[in-house]
Structure formats: structure tokens, C-alpha cells
Amino acid sequence: MLVSEKLAMAAHLHVLLRRKTGRVTDTEWMAANAEYAMEIVRFARAKAQEDGHPDLAEWADKLERATVESAAKAPAKPLAQTAMQLLRDRQAATAAAAPAPLVEQPAPAPEHTGGFLNSVFGESGFADSTLGRDAKPRDPNAPRYVGGIR
């Protein structure tokens, strides 16, 4: 059975349940998740018996057949196991690939500063504004301003 057919059944059952019982369902999840679909089938059958709605029971039977048929075709493997298998396969493929030979990188060229010094105060990270002049040692208790602006 095509996914679109199963989705159509889920949508029809959704509309019936909403109109007759006030129950709102998730049609896409109903078509994708067998456990959810079977719970909705159980609920629809119970409401069909309680309230006398034979069309609910009919569409619940159709959805159940589609769900059982889908589950029988594709044995479900837990998502965690599938993910772990994919990771193992990827690691095996990476390990099998030959490592690339190491190439020595040339030393970086000295950075051109344009005549300015690259001095930075250690604790603040702000650039020194003296630009090469002899700077007096800073008083650690003095108020601090960026670039000497007061």
C-alpha cells in the first residue's frame, strides 16, 4: 500500500473522529507510526460501539489492515540501532581510507604593522595608546580610560 493511501485513510478517520467524538488526531503521525495508529483504531472502535457509529468501525478496520500490512512488509528497526550502525559504517570507511601524507607548512610571514606597535594590556586586551613612546608604569588603582581619553 502506498503511503498516500494510508495517509488518506488516516485523514478520513481523523475527520470522522473530529465530527462524531470531538477527538483531534495527527494524520501524518497516524500514517507513519504503527503504535499511534493502533491506539487510534482502538479508540475509534470503542467510540463506534458506545455511540453507535458503524462508519467509525469501518474506517478503523481499514486503517488497521493498512498498518498491519505496512508493518509486515518492513520490519521496524529501532532508530538508535540504525543510527549506531550508520556511525560504525562511517568510522569503518574513514579508517579504511589511507591517511593523507603530512605536508610541512611554511612558517607564516611576519605581520606588517605599518609602523605601529602591537602592544596590548594583558588583563584588558585594549591596545596601548603610547605607540612606542616610553610609557610610565601604570598605577593599578588609577581609573582606566580607553586610549587615554578622560
Neighbour-count burial for 105-137, b at 16+ CB within 10 Å, e otherwise: eeeeeeeeeeeeeeeeeeeeeeebeeeeeeeee
What is the structure's pLDDT at 72? Answer: 73
Q: Please tell me the pTM assigned to this model.
A: 0.48
Query: Residue for cell digits 483531534?
Result: 24
The predicted pLDDT at position 81 comes to: 81
For residue 66, what are the β-bridge partners? none
Which residues of the chain, if any, have pLDDT below 70? Answer: 74-77, 96-136, 143-150
pLDDT for 73: 72
Domains of the chain: which residue ranges? Answer: 3-73
